[in-house]
Amino acid sequence: MKNDRIGLVNDHDDMKNHCSSSVCTGRCLSIIFFCIGVVLMLSMGLALYFSLHKDIMTVAPVPAPTVVPPPPCKDPCVITLVESIPENLTYPAGSPSHPSTYSALIDLMEMATSQIEIASFYWTLSGSDIEYHDNSSWQGESVLSTLMAAGRFRKLKIKIAQNKPDNGYYNNTRDLARYAGAEVRTLDFKSLMGNGILHTKMWLIDRKHFYVGSANLDWRSFTQVKEMGAVIRNCPCMARDMGKLFDVYWDLGLPGAKVPSQWPTSYNTDINNNNTMEINFNSTNVAATTYISSSPPPFCPAGRTVDVDAIVDIIQKAEEFVYVAVMDYFPTTQFTKPRVYWPVIDDAFRRAAFNRRVKVHLLISYWQHTWEDMKIYLSSLNDLWFKSYPELDITVKIFEVPAFTDSQKKIPYGRVNHNKYMVTDKTAYIGTSNWSADYFIDTGGIGLVINQQRTPALSKEGDVRQQLEDVFLRDWNSKYAWDFNTFNFTSVDRHTEL
């Protein structure tokens, strides 16, 4: 740079000496005036051009897309909460209770006239997955035999989208395909997403009725594991939308399937968290606004709300309380190495409590397969509770399903609260996923979202939000819910006296 500047100085001196002669003075002045003239002409020309074409200097505003809400649903939709209560798990007389998952699925199959579509994680309904026979497997075996009869004798079309089976499990779908004509497709998430599973639990009947909830197709899900779900009947407006999610699974179950960069427009939906559908459930005169969310994001065609976005949106809109009942809770990934911090839901809880003074209560499960480090993350939330400024209420309780008999103690993967739902002062959410990062990043799951205003005009039968709140408070105040600070995470015989 220094040498460049010396060169410029020398050139300037040469020009000055040359122009000092009387012969060159006129030439130098002519060159200078010519250059000034050229610059003036260019400036005037550019000014004239831009005055005539000033529109090119302004970016026209892009109009916001027009959102057309779906028309209100005119179908006579009936919604019912359904539960699995493990054997010997009892509540005081008069406590909230709902039809069993078992009876709900039997009823749905009996209502079917043309087809039954099922999306599932795994199939162990017959009790053959353990070395001995347990009498409590009868409900699962009944579900299996009823489904078998629907295909074999009633000639109903059965379509099953399942997760790629673990070789260690006996899979009932082989018998359903062989004896009931079921068409079975398997989703290989390792190939599709690099990780994850199909964790969805969905029954879809004639594209008119459906079940969604926490219950796997496992005999334990009816008699040994606590489950929460919802059945919606006579509601084609929502069942058709659920059918679009089943169609996603069905396509991805084809051999060699790949997740498309863009889904066919027929899979798009206009029902989402910004564009909900109004439904008068159970003949009430107060409409609920409803939509279905899905995960992982690549499985969501245009218009579909991503499941974790639905959860965060529900938390953000709560004004009084957020109640969550879920088996596992981690603000990280669980099944990837190395594990990754993912505080999306955790931050939403903290913001709700800190910024808006919303009460946050978490009812988390404990059983023999609980990961030891979960209590660290729960402690981080629970320790925010204090009654000074700002007044925060984030409280964690641990729900444990006791094994009352030696037979119950022997059953593998039983005796756990498997719920996956949330209820706020405005919204009921029933999902199929545990609350850790993997379930929202690369695992298949769905959520049913129902927003309902609390109003005297809303009957108890139609107020599913209030019903779910009552179930949460029943469990929260039960003898099976333990204060987090006093809970012994290592004791195994704590409930023998109950």
State the catalytic residues.
199, 201, 206, 418, 420, 425
| 341 CB burial (10 A radius; 0-12, 13-18, 19+) | exposed
What is the chain's length?
Answer: 498
One-letter identity of residue 485: N
For residue 338, cis peptide bond before it (omega within 30 degrees of 0): yes
Q: How far is the C-alpha of 258 from the C-alpha of 52, rounded, in Å?
A: 52
| 337 CB burial (10 A radius; 0-12, 13-18, 19+) | exposed
Q: How far is the C-alpha of 384 from the C-alpha of 229, rounded, in Å?
A: 31
Q: CB within 8 A of 247, min separation 6: which ones?
A: 267
Backbone angles phi, psi at 187, to 5 degrees: -95, 125
Backbone angles phi, psi at 358, to 5 degrees: -80, 135
Taking each helix axis from N to C end, the angle separating 307-317 and 344-356, rounded to the nearest 10 degrees, works out to 10
> What secondary structure, in 3-state letters, does 207-226 show?
CCEEEEECCCEECHHHHCEE
Q: How far is the C-alpha of 89 from the C-alpha of 87, rounded, in Å?
A: 6
Q: How far is the C-alpha of 75 from the C-alpha of 279, rounded, in Å?
A: 8
Backbone angles phi, psi at 65, to 5 degrees: -65, 140
Taking each helix axis from N to C end, the angle separating 22-52 and 2-19, rounded to the nearest 10 degrees, works out to 120
Quick check: 374 and 364 in contact, CB under 8 A? yes
Q: CB within 8 A of 393, min separation 6: which ones?
A: 353, 357, 359, 360, 361, 385
Angle value at C-alpha 46, between 45 and 50, nearest 5 degrees: 120
Q: How far is the C-alpha of 150 from the C-alpha of 112, rounded, in Å?
A: 8
Quick check: 226 and 232 in contact, CB under 8 A? no
- Calculate Rg over the CA atoms of the chain: 32
Q: How far is the C-alpha of 348 from the C-alpha of 374, rounded, in Å?
A: 18
